[in-house]
Structure 1
């Protein structure tokens, strides 16, 4: 199969210390599907507990978003980040203590701005802000040191590749024809493909508030929490004020729905861009193939209204670089263009990812070159470019789209806003979260008054860290007895808005791996293991549960 997320193949032998066995039936105690940060951490934990493990990764590069551009970590309260997740950020810290880590910038010049904490914490010996290639190297070091076998560019045959017997997965086959057999399986993908193929219950989209008695789930028409909405009246029509002229691109003519109702819309995706303003390392923004300036007409009207917040989420990371996130009413988020992604075929997903890439490359070029852009904004944008020393095998473009949310398992227990906001107690903790309930916009629509608005952006603080239940990473009883799901875990849409942070995915990956090994040892289904025994091991391994 063609590369899905990257354009150039990298051989397994060049990236893994242990060569994969010959094609055919490959076995291990635990088979992990996915190449995310959670996948790597889970594999390390299995090895540390003395069991065999194989990572089967559809991705060539390991680390998911953590190595794919999201270097300005969403930490929340860092005191609840423990175990191998904290070890990752400790290793990042160690890297940046080396003088040769600062190739384009003096360390003292960098400053120490972070999100929820300082970037570099000398007392805790952790660093939470980093360059993509540094994160990827840390993950590769984990793989090498623990002699973990990784099969890269291997895609689950979602149609007929899963083999299940007596309620357990026995093996799965990839599109290349390899079969991977194990005693326990962990789905550590952002999409939840193994989970879905196993027949485990899941949800896509936003549940109605009535499903779990929530306030912030469902459609949120009229809720404008962050600055990612239209602050002034902007016409969405090709001829401003004339509805007969038709809608501008990137505006939906559909009814947005009623506040609190459920829908199948997905919060927007984007690439987290690693840009630089250092001329020695800068690659100018090029006109992408198929560029269409009319796609960005709405942004011109936003600028003409006086809006000037383009660079508010150009968050600094070391070496004169930045992690660029969405900010404002028309920005990096490609709103409304991902609804079918979670259940889509590989080819359809590939097309969605390519469309997102085209949108963002076109947006950068448009701001940097279109004569209608205010000169102050354009001059500032042209100081930036792609980082020449990042994503070198993919044209300096991130290899991972930010899949903020796809499928979410409906597991043995479901995390909701009640647990996240501390209104309901959580038993059997396997990790903690602390970040704001944070969802991005899901649609851009026309209000009854004829002006455009975004919908879906939510920001509700979790006042205290909260526990995440073991039941939220395992399927319901009877659905699958040997599968754990630490990424597409069991959560309502809005609760997932807080849980879906990379440090938490690593925490849950380690806990899932621990449970998998104990289930093997005790010959039990994952739903039936001893929580007392699980908790003891997690605490021994420095997970933070309370």
Structure 2
């Protein structure tokens, strides 16, 4: 492990893509920077199975984040910025960028506690007992753990519809588990007991607030290249009777057709009731969830955010066993339509990915955690109406308002299993994010940023929560700290346009690190041969 200083200008918690961007940007601005990561791996979900990066407009990517996507582009010899990236390639580029930087990276160390003085965080004690001080602190965790440790006010769960007058807020109407067979009912009980993973009905009104978040998953990477394929097996001692709900759903599906859609500049996406497979380079696929046997599991999700590290490790193992069993189920169970089983039988886990975790991604996809409660809150209406004014804008974002299921429940009459919590708008909204979205209330703290758990409602967060957007916010936080230092003003007085101006002037033209100096034309033929093989 590296020898750490005692005193830093900038301490960043978690080496997610947002955290890496914050740390590298801070180091380039001559801030002595420490990046703390409890695991041995950097890159967050982009190196742990979230390979489809949800880039709807690559012109919105700037600064150090743009350098990352350009470096990946050059690794693949692509003519445009990539939207689908293998975990191993993302990991290679993130590591190279950190190696080229002056960031002190402390892996396999967690923050055990923080110390405060007045309205500032002053120090942290790491899990190995090392004490570090910092003038600025960035929480880049998906859960918002540093925010909670620092006593920063935050929100967990869904606001009520009346709180901010958001049409999508709060508890959602019940919907069928299989949206295209809404009249087919699945009895939620057998012998008087609820089916596994099915919860009792809720009597809360539609639109009511609660403390629930959208469901998590492990996002598997698959391959159909025989030379790189590890067979999918059943996890030891797994009780497959827990999948009775999915058997019942499968038996209602009359057509197990698998459809393919070619998306320009992205590649092929394969869809069925059981999966959504986005083609990656080198014969790999990012597997997203389908409704018939969902990877996203609301029951396993509950309790994650406030769980201890030991409990999260146990939940992680439950998610891993569930995911492996579900993949095996799709390949072998008689309730799965034959066409789906035949299609899935060609796939296995990639031998060249996730070697230390059985070739399944090591991390649970934490889609939503704690969110700041700052002086202002970004709402559904802000997403829909373009967001911040030009003088306040840090960066732009573009995505749908999107939330995965929060619950699988029995309906009120006890005659059907239903999903609750989902929404997805047909339009992808483009909007600007304000500087205050990463800042706590000024009465809480004056030297802290939260770049993933931003000051937004549950509904607005459903659009903001994309890795490229978080990467932009990570860099912006470091620039805001630098500007506050340079001007001797409170960070809450730094305007978004000042951040954008400094980023545009100093980071687009930043000298390319050694690993970025790639001759694109020498790699074009290699890339197209790889894609042909996929």
- After TM superposition, the score normalised by the length of structure 2 is 0.87
- The partner residue of 1:126 within 72, 75, 81 is 81
Q: Give, in whole Å, the separation in 2 of the partners of 1:411 and 1:445.
A: 33
Q: Which of 95, 98, 102 is the matching residue for 1:143?
A: 98
Residues 199 and 410, structure 2, Cα contact 8 Å, conserved in 1? yes
Match for residue 437 of structure 1? 401
Residue in 2 aligned with 1:9?
Answer: none
Cα contact 1:80–1:465 (8 A) shared by 2: no
Cα 1:130–1:256, aligned 2, differ >3 Å: closer, same or farther? farther
Question: Shift in Å at residue 311 of structure 1?
Answer: 5.1
Partner of 1:341: 304
Match of 1:520 among 482, 485, 491: 485
**The residue matched to 2:227 in structure 1 has which SS?**
coil
**Alpha-carbon spacing, 1:458–1:541, altered in 2? closer, same or farther (3 Å):** farther
Q: CA deviation at 1:538?
A: 2.9
The answer to whether the aligner puts 1:165 opposite 2:165 as a matched pair is no
Q: 2:173 touches 2:206 (CA, 8 Å); kept in 1?
A: yes
Which structure 2 residues correspond to residues 178-257 of structure 1 after superposition, within 5 A?
Answer: 178-222=130-174, 231-239=182-190, 245-255=192-202, 257=204
Map Cα deviations across residues 362-409 of structure 1 (whole Å, 9 max, x no partner).
111222233443333222222111101001122111122110001111
Check conservation: 2:293, 2:326, Cα contact below 8 A.
Answer: no
**Which residue of structure 2 lines up, in the alignment, with residue 510 of structure 1?**
475
Cα displacement (A) at 1:345: 1.4
Which deviates more, 445-454 or 429-438?
A: 445-454
Q: Residue in 2 aligned with 1:330?
A: 293
Q: CA RMSD in A?
A: 2.1
Of the three residues 460, 467, 470, the one matched with 2:425 is 460
Give the direction of change, closer, same or farther, for the CA distance of 1:405–1:445 in structure 2 (3 Å limit).
same
Shift of residue 410, structure 1, vs aligned partner: 0.7
What is the CA–CA distance in structure 1 between the aligned matches of 2:274 and 2:208, rounded to whole Å? 34
Report the Cα distance in structure 2 between the residues aligned to 1:408 and 1:274, rounded to whole angstroms. 29
In structure 2, how many angstroms separate the alpha carbons of the residues matched to 1:384 and 1:463? Answer: 32
Quick one: distance in 2 between partners of 1:435 and 1:163? 37
Q: Is the 8 A contact 1:256 1:443 kept in 2?
A: no
Aligned to 1:536: 501
Structure 2 counterpart SS, 1:445 = strand
Out of 310, 313, 316, the residue aligned to residue 350 of structure 1 is 313
- Please name the residue that 2:361 is paired with: 398
Per-residue CA deviations over 1:40-95 (Å, capped at 9, x if unaligned) read 11111112212211101112211101111111111122222222222211111100
SS at match of 1:286: coil
In the alignment, is the contact (CA less than 8 A) between 2:435 and 2:495 conserved in 1? no
SS at match of 2:55: coil
Q: CA 1:514 to 1:436, structure 2 compared with 1: closer, same or farther past 3 Å?
A: same
> Is contact 1:256–1:445 with CA below 8 Å preserved after alignment?
no
Q: What is the rounded CA distance, in whole Å, between the counterparts of 1:372 and 1:389 in structure 2?
A: 32
Conserved 8 A contact 1:411-1:472: yes
Q: Shift of the alpha carbon at 1:528?
A: 3.0
Contact 1:315 1:324 in 2 (8 A): yes
Taking a change above 3 Å as real, the CA distance of residues 67 and 229 of structure 1, as seen in their structure-2 partners, is: farther
Deviation at 1:326, TM superposition (A): 1.1
**Aligned CA distance change for structure 1 residues 290 and 156 (closer, same or farther; 3 Å):** farther
Structure 1: tracts of 5 or more residues without a match: 1-11, 13-19, 98-119
CA distance in 2 between partners of 1:456 and 1:329 (Å) = 17
Equivalent residue pairs, number: 490
Report the equivalent of 1:266.
Answer: 213
Distance 1:196 1:90 in 2: 35
Shift of 1:328: 1.6
The CA distance in 2 between the partners of 1:345 and 1:464, in whole Å, is 36
CA contact (8 A) 1:76 1:436 kept: no
Distance 1:29 1:156 in 2: 17
Contact 1:202 1:409 in 2 (8 A): yes
The structural deviation recorded for 1:329 is: 4.3
Gaps of 5+ in 2: 257-271, 509-534
Change in Cα spacing, 1:197 to 1:456, as seen in structure 2 (3 Å) is: same
Shift of 1:451: 0.8
CA apart distance, 1:166:
2.0
- For the Cα contact (< 8 Å) 1:435–1:461, is it kept in 2? no
Q: Contact between 1:33 and 1:194, CA under 8 Å: does it hold in 2?
A: yes
Q: CA deviation at 1:223?
A: 5.8
Provide the rounded CA distance (Å) in 1 between the counterparts of 2:423 and 2:56. 16
Partner Cα separation in structure 2 for residue 254 and residue 222 of structure 1: 10
Q: Given that residues 228 and 352 in structure 2 are in contact (C-alpha distance below 8 angstroms), is that contact kept between their aligned partners in structure 1? A: yes
CA separation in 2, counterparts of 1:280 and 1:324?
20
* 1:416 Cα offset (Å): 0.8
Q: State the Cα deviation string for residues 433-490 of structure 1 (Å, max 9, x = none).
A: 1100111000011123411111111101455410111111000012111111111111
